[in-house]
Structure 1
């Protein structure tokens, strides 16, 4: 799976972590920071730390958000049909936000859910607009960035 990252310019890694938390609308406990302790939701943190240690970056931050489905934290959809049914139940405004969120993800991040949504609803990713972003062919998936 490709690694997505953008080089950041902050005075400290902690400032980069706080900025990503602000962008995600979460607390810093939901943003991973390497080097540093694993975030509360640490799925993938070890792989990201391994990648970071060999990447040449001074620091790496990434989103470490817990899963949430139908407004329930730590809930995950049972299958693709559950996701499609949920999306079809949404009001127009919420559906538009969901579409915007999904279409903003990099095109090469493909999951069974995204493939089904693209096929069934016609949602396609927007072209990349982040200047200086880089895709590497190997490593963990996430929003890693150099501070």
Structure 2
């Protein structure tokens, strides 16, 4: 079974022990993501959401022969619960927030695809999406140490992940891609 993992954030530059068997390819399917989750280290991280703009994802082959092992590998890397790992297999309906995943999978000969499916979270509330002004105010209010981690996350995000919030972070905070 050929299993692909989609990514748009830190998985790309910091896969840690994620069992991948290839480099990250830049021609993944379109995903609806934005910097809308307060995460560890007070970073504002990219997550999927219905109202977000579509950007191209990246992807890599998993070094796993079955879907359960691939899901568990991504779950461990993300430090989350299994229900926060999205997955799709041939024959399934197109998942929310991923444009034409079935067509992309057929074209790339993927039998299954996995991704991180954490919800937006802001001010301690799941599903709470900050406005761009709230996101900028939050990032500007961080102490130096936290701000450095938040800035690094934004600046290391692959350049093809061009979201409206990222454009504002670049313009107002000077957080240009590394």
* TM-score (norm. length: structure 2): 0.59
Instruction: Give, in whole Å, the separation in 1 of the partners of 2:70 and 2:96.
Output: 20
> Partner residue of 1:15?
69
1:3-82 alignment runs, 5 A limit: 3-35=57-89, 43-44=96-97, 47-78=100-131, 80-82=132-134
Question: Structure 1 stretches (4+) deviating beyond 4 angstroms?
Answer: none
List alignment gaps of at least 5 residues for structure 1.
Answer: 127-147
CA contact (8 A) 2:89 2:112 kept: yes
SS in 2 for 1:65: coil
Point out the structure with the larger strand share: 2
Point out the structure with the larger helix share: 1
SS in 1 for 2:59: strand
List alignment gaps of at least 5 residues for structure 2.
Answer: 1-54
Structure with bigger RCO (C-alpha 8 Å, 6+ apart): 1
Question: How many residue pairs were aligned?
Answer: 122
* TM-score (norm. length: structure 1): 0.70
> Partner residue of 1:112?
164
| Cα RMSD (Å) | 2.3
CA contact (8 A) 1:67 1:75 kept: yes
